[in-house]
Structure 1
Amino acid sequence: MSAKITKVTKEHLPSLRFIGKRYTNADRIGGFGHKWGEWFENGWFTSLEKLGELKNIENGYIGFMRCDFSSIENTFEYWIGMFLPENTEAPDGFAFIDLPESDVAVCWISGKENDGIYDMHGDCISKFKEEGMGNFRSDYENRACFFERYNCPRFTEQDADGNIILDYGIYLAD
Structure 2
Amino acid sequence: MAEIIKVYKEHLPSLRFIGKCYTNADRVGGFGHKWAEWFQKGWFEALGNLGGAPDIENGYLGLMRCDSSNFENTFEYWIGLFFPSDTSVPSGYDSIDLDGGPIGVCWIKGSEEDGSIYGMHDQCVVGFQESGMGNFKTDQENRVCFFERYNCPRFTGKDEQGRVILDYCVYLAEQ
Q: Same fold (TM over 0.5)?
A: yes
Residue 27 in structure 1 maps to residue 26 in structure 2: yes
Q: Whole-Å Cα distance in 2 between the matches of residues 9 and 35 of structure 1? A: 29
| C-alpha contact (below 8 Å) 1:10/1:106 kept by paired residues | yes
Secondary structure of the structure 2 residue equivalent to 1:71: helix
RMSD: 0.6
Aligned equivalent of 1:127: 127
Aligned equivalent of 1:64: 63
Aligned equivalent of 2:116: 116
Q: Whole-Å Cα distance in 1 between the matches of residues 68 and 116 of structure 2? A: 22
Aligned equivalent of 1:157: 157
Deviations 1:18-39 (A, max 9, x none): 0000000000000000000000
Deviations 1:53-77 (A, max 9, x none): 2122111000000000001011000
Greater than 6 Å deviation, 4+ residue runs: none
Is 114-123 or 12-21 further displaced after alignment? 114-123
Structure 1, gaps ≥5 residues long: none
Q: Whole-Å Cα distance in 2 between the matches of residues 15 and 173 of structure 1? A: 14
Is 28-37 or 114-123 further displaced after alignment? 114-123
| C-alpha contact (below 8 Å) 1:13/1:57 kept by paired residues | yes
Residue 52 (structure 1) shift: 1.3
Give the TM-score taking structure 2 as reference length: 0.98
Aligned equivalent of 2:92: 93
Between the aligned residues of both structures, percent identity stands at: 63
